[in-house]
């Protein structure tokens, strides 16, 4: 067997939002399993602490710490970054996974407050966070940022229109950041999951129609699981993706390959 350090993240510091459960938790676990020290962040501290404890038990003491943060507030994002610096050091990897969707229905019916909240939390907060973390990476001439978008970005929807618009805006955001930060050695990519069996998307997958579509239409004949996001996070964080930036990588069992 040939030894390789291609996916080795030893000595790297990874900051993740929306990481106490679901896809974010799986990505945090994957990064820690490959040697990174991870910051588990979400709105609820107790959930973050529980996830960090699980990672520390699995990967060794000190592999994870918990910091609560509501991404909708700029001061909380700054505190998240500052506390990471104080406890672990400069940030090498950013996984901006947190997102919201408070409205399900036609865009004709969405209140302005819900539209603004979706765009604020899913787009502007990620812009803020990337700008806060960028100096750590440009100082060393290396680093990887990834923002969770969605395959929904590539299509319209009768019920998730504004959410999909926000995720397409995320792809535009990572492309522009990749253009701006690439000359200074920083890579920026979007992860676009298909329908994943998480609590966040339960209303979309927990029904017989969704199961039938998965069994008949998705090439891999199943819905996604949170664990399916581990590998893509490790790939984008590591030297294995050293020439990959500005991309929207889909994790969808092949369902989106014609889009």
Q: Write the CB contacts of 127 (distance below 8 Å, at least 6 apart in sequence).
A: 173
73 noted as active-site residue: no
Domain range enclosing 148: 13-196+226-251
**DSSP letters along 71-100, please?**
TT-HHHHHHHHHHHHHHT-S--EEEE----
Q: Please indicate, yes or no, if residue 36 is contained in any of the structural domains.
A: yes
In a domain, 187, yes or no: yes
pLDDT tens-digit profile of 29-65?
Answer: 999 999 999 999 999 999 999 999 999 999 999 999 9
Query: What integer is the mean pLDDT of 168-195?
Result: 97
**Domain contains 121:** yes
> What distance in Å separates the CA atoms of residue 153 and residue 156, rounded to the nearest whole number?
8
In a domain, 3, yes or no: no
CATH of the domain at 106: 3.40.50.720
- Residue 222: Cβ within 10 Å count: 13
pTM for the complete prediction? 0.94
Q: Does the residue 38 lie in any domain?
A: yes
The reply to whether 235 falls in a domain is yes
Q: For the chain, report the end-to-end CA distance as a whole number of angstroms.
A: 38
Q: Is 185 helix (H, G, I), strand (E, B) or coil?
A: coil
Determine, yes or no, domain membership for 8. Answer: no
Structural domain total, the chain: 1
Strand order in the sheet with 13-17: 64-68, 37-42, 13-17, 93-96, 143-148, 186-193, 248-251
Q: Within 10 A of 226 (CB to CB), how many other CB atoms are there?
A: 19
What pLDDT sits at residue 218?
85
pLDDT computed for residue 207 by the predictor: 72
pLDDT per position as a tens digit, 213-252: 767 788 888 888 999 999 999 999 999 999 999 999 999 9
Rounded Cα distance between 138 and 245, Å, is 15
Domain assignment of residue 4, yes or no: no
Residue 81 has pLDDT above 70, yes or no: yes
Per the residue annotation, which of 103, 128, 163, 235 is the catalytic one?
163
The pLDDT tens digits of the residues spanning 96-121 come to: 999 999 999 999 999 999 999 999 99
Say if CB 116 and CB 102 are below 8 A apart.
no
Please provide the average confidence, as pLDDT, over all residues in the chain.
93
């Amino acid at each position: 067997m040939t030894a390789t350090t291609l996916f080795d993240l030893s000595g790297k510091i990874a900051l993740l939002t929306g990481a106490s459960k679901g896809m974010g938790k799986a990505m945090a676990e994957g990064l820690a399993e490959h040697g990174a020290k991870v910051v588990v962040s979400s709105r609820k501290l107790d959930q973050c602490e529980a996830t960090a404890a699980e990672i520390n038990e699995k990967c060794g003491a000190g592999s994870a710490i918990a910091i609560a943060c509501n991404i909708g507030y700029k001061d909380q994002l700054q505190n998240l970054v500052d506390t990471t610096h104080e406890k672990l050091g400069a940030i090498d990897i950013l996984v901006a996974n947190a997102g919201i969707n408070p409205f399900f229905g036609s865009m004709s019916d969405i209140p302005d407050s819900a539209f603004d909240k979706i765009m604020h939390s899913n787009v502007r907060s990620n812009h803020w966070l990337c700008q806060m973390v960028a100096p750590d990476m440009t100082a060393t001439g290396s680093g990887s940022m990834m923002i969770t978008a969605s395959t929904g970005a590539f299509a319209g929807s009768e019920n998730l229109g504004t959410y999909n618009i926000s995720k397409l805006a995320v792809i535009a955001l990572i492309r522009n950041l990749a253009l701006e930060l690439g000359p200074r050695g920083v890579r920026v990519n979007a992860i676009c999951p298909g329908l994943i069996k998480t609590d966040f998307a339960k209303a979309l997958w927990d029904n017989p129609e969704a199961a039938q579509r998965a069994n008949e239409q998705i090439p891999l004949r199943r819905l996604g699981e949170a664990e399916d996001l581990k590998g893509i996070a490790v790939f984008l964080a590591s030297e294995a993706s050293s020439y990959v930036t500005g991309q929207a990588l889909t994790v969808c069992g092949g369902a989106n390959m014609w889009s």
